[in-house]
Amino acid sequence: MTDNSNRFVRTRYAPSPTGPQHIGGIRSALFAWLYARRQRGQFILRIEDTDQKRTVPGSIELIQESFDWLGMDIDEGPRQGGAFGPYIQSERLELYQTWANWLVDSGHAYKCFATADELKEMRATGKGYDRRYRDYPAARAAELEAAGKPYVIRFKMPLSGLTAGEDMIRGIVEFDNAQLQDAVLMKSDGFPTYHLAHIVDDYHMKISHVTRAIEWLPSFPLHLRIWEAFGWQQPQYAHLPVLLNPNGKGKLSKRKQQFADAGKSVPVLVHEFIEAGYLPDAVKNFLTNIGWNFGDNREMFSTQEAMQRFDLKDVNAANSAYPIAKLDWLNSQYIQTSKVEYLASLLKSVLQEAGYTVDDERLRQVVPILQVRLKTLKDVVPMAGFFFADWAAFQAPPPDILVQRKMDSVSTAKVLEESIPVLQGLKDFSASSQHGAMTQFAKSVGFKNGQVFGSLRAAVTGQRVSPPTFETMEILGREESLRRIKLALQALAQPTS
């Protein structure tokens, strides 16, 4: 294989515009992007829309939005422009037709006039296309073309021997030519197939490294032979291992679904990660970890740190199960280490989407006591939505929430009632002052801290689970906290049905 190590590094991501981005494709893009950034090269976005039947309107915008959310900058692409455009294949048809005809004229390809019925008959034999037009007399082929008979252009693969190439991840791979077909390069509608288009584009866009899924490895010998036929210097290829379902069984689905081993619905599309409340840096860290190892026994690292070490040659060739539980852990770590202002801006959007009116100052107070408790941004709603609800409309929770373990309504009411003068008498209403006073109070009334603190937490939040009790009460303020405790006492005094 030709050594491209001295060529300027240009990598690309070339998705089909068929809808939202699957996380497997994004991982391929991430590896290409990291490699380009480490090598101080360029990263290109190219849209491969030659299969017009599968094109979904709006997909290009969704693809670009995925990169924007992840913070992966693009050097050249449909939106960015560049010296090697256009970056949408359907706008480059004349170029593909020129080179397809060149392959025919130079004897590397041929026009195949087989009809759909003929191809169906060939497939029924179990042997596939029988190359009946490969050596068809030129004069007869010209007559068929003149008569307007549709044709495709097929590549002439060698009929015997081996085709060998080097994969950056797997090393030298060899293929028996006798087992390979004469693949279609140009369809009868004038659109190229992937086999021709990506090679023409990679050459003219000066792509130096191609990252793509392992599913393309069987087509690797065809692509090597096409590069050879053109006489062009081929890029280096890295065929990435497959992402498996969380249970390790089968390729990761393209649809969000429940896996028993994961214990929850698993997001697989970029917008599903956004909707589930994951941070973009956590998702990048998570994906980089699947099939590549940072070293130093580190699971968590910044994008900048990954750029300094990432090499396609270090990617593990083995397929990997999708470790969704690890993403929850990583996401919680990124939340914990985020700056308050940044996290507040993300949580504000989540709270507003849930229907809350968000006071920015209050949110800045709430964020520090939430950071160690959130796995995803969405957790803020059940955990701390009460801070942003209408305080005047607050209603005490039912006794089954107020009454703590090994307590009853009577003892709970006693604790709440006797805590009021203690809280009223504090010189300041800071969390530390409250904690010290209520610790002593719990001892004086003969209950454990957890029972007293839990009763207060339920009374002021209306929830079984919330941020720390006294930090919560400090944010609510003395007046509002005492009002809520009194409402809880009224609820405990109501006769049960």
Identify whether residues 434 and 481 lie together within a single domain.
yes
Q: Identify the CATH number of the domain in which residue 484 sits.
A: 1.10.10.350
What's the rounded mean pLDDT across residues 177-190? 95
Query: Of 271, 303, 338, which closes a domain?
Result: 338
Residue range(s) defining the domain that contains residue 353? 347-493
Minimum mean pLDDT range among 62-66, 149-153, 258-262, 429-433: 258-262
Confidence of residue 5 (pLDDT cuts 50, 70, 90): very low
Q: Is residue 186 part of a domain?
A: no
Q: Is residue 319 part of a domain?
A: yes
- Strands of the sheet containing 109-112, edge to edge, are 109-112, 152-155, 184-186
* Structural tokens at position 329: 């852990």
Q: Please check the confidence at residue 2 and state whether its pLDDT lies above 60.
A: no
Report the chain's mean pLDDT, rounded to a whole number: 93
What's the rounded mean pLDDT across residues 67-73? 97
Confidence of residue 250 (pLDDT cuts 50, 70, 90): confident
* pLDDT of res. 346: 97
Confidence of residue 264 (pLDDT cuts 50, 70, 90): low
* pLDDT of res. 4: 43
Identify whether residues 483 and 415 lie together within a single domain.
yes
CA distance 281 to 418: 48
* pLDDT of res. 80: 96
To 5 degrees, how large is the angle CA 452–CA 454–CA 460? 105
Q: Please check the confidence at residue 441 and state whether its pLDDT lies above 70.
A: yes
CA atoms within 13 A on the CB side of 19: 8
Is-contact 269 22, C-beta < 8 A? yes
Is 283 exposed, middle or buried (CB count within 10 Å of its CB: 0-12, 13-18, 19+)? buried
Identify whether residues 464 and 371 lie together within a single domain.
yes
Is-contact 222 155, C-beta < 8 A? yes
Confidence of residue 7 (pLDDT cuts 50, 70, 90): low
The length of the chain in residues reads: 497
Q: Is residue 7 part of a domain?
A: no
Q: Identify the CATH number of the domain in which residue 309 sits.
A: 1.10.1160.10
Is-contact 166 65, C-beta < 8 A? no
Confidence of residue 1 (pLDDT cuts 50, 70, 90): very low
* Structural tokens at position 461: 């939040």
CA distance 192 to 154: 11
Identify whether residues 311 and 371 lie together within a single domain.
no
What's the rounded mean pLDDT across residues 215-241? 97
pLDDT tens digit string along 329-387?
A: 999 999 999 999 999 999 999 999 999 999 999 999 999 999 999 999 999 999 999 99
* Structural tokens at position 279: 């941070």
Identify whether residues 399 and 310 lie together within a single domain.
no
Cβ atoms within 10 Å, residue 93: 15
CA distance 202 to 10: 10
* Structural tokens at position 133: 């037009």
Query: Of 311, 338, 365, which closes a domain?
Result: 338
Confidence of residue 256 (pLDDT cuts 50, 70, 90): low
Confidence of residue 3 (pLDDT cuts 50, 70, 90): very low
* pLDDT of res. 486: 97
* pLDDT of res. 497: 55
| Dihedral angle, C-alpha 158, 164, 165, 169, nearest 10 ° | 130
pLDDT tens digit string along 185-226?
A: 999 999 999 999 999 999 999 999 999 999 999 999 999 999
Identify whether residues 361 and 328 lie together within a single domain.
no
Residues assigned a catalytic role: 254
pTM to 2 decimal places: 0.90
Identify whether residues 372 and 469 lie together within a single domain.
yes
* pLDDT of res. 51: 85
Write a three-state SS string for the chain. CCCCCCCCCEEEECCCCCCCCEHHHHHHHHHHHHHHHHCCCEEEECECCCCHHHCCCCHHHHHHHHHHHHCCCCCEECCCECCCCCCEHHHCHHHHHHHHHHHHHCCCEEEECCCHHHHHHHHHCCCCCCCCCCCCCHHHHHHHHHCCCCCEEEECCCCCCEEEEEECCCEEEEEEHHHCCCCEEECCCCCECHHHHHHHHHHHCCCCEEEEEHHHHHHHHHHHHHHHHHCCCCCEEEEECCEECCCCCCECCCCCEEECCCCEEECCEHHHHHHHCCCHHHHHHHHHHCCCCCCCCCCCCCHHHHHHHCCHHHCCCCCEECCHHHHHHHHHHHHHHCCHHHHHHHHHHHHHHCCCCCCHHHHHHHHHHHCCCCCCHHHHHHHHHHHHCCHHHCCCCCHHHHCCCCCCHHHHHHHHHHHHHHHHCCCCCCHHHHHHHHHHHHHHHCCCHHHHHHHHHHHHHCCCCCCCHHHHHHHHCHHHHHHHHHHHHHHHHCCCC
* pLDDT of res. 253: 75
Q: Is residue 403 part of a domain?
A: yes
Identify whether residues 457 and 379 lie together within a single domain.
yes
Q: Is residue 362 part of a domain?
A: yes
Is-contact 239 169, C-beta < 8 A? yes
Q: Is residue 126 part of a domain?
A: no
CA distance 76 to 61: 15
Query: Of 315, 338, 361, which closes a domain?
Result: 338
Minimum mean pLDDT range among 32-41, 46-55, 70-79, 410-419: 46-55
Identify whether residues 357 and 464 lie together within a single domain.
yes
* pLDDT of res. 30: 98
CA distance 394 to 362: 17
pLDDT tens digit string along 71-90?
A: 999 999 999 999 999 999 99
Identify whether residues 361 and 279 lie together within a single domain.
no
* pLDDT of res. 259: 53
Q: Is residue 448 part of a domain?
A: yes
Domains of the chain: total: 2
Identify whether residues 321 and 429 lie together within a single domain.
no
Identify whether residues 475 and 367 lie together within a single domain.
yes
Q: Is residue 409 part of a domain?
A: yes
CA distance 320 to 244: 6
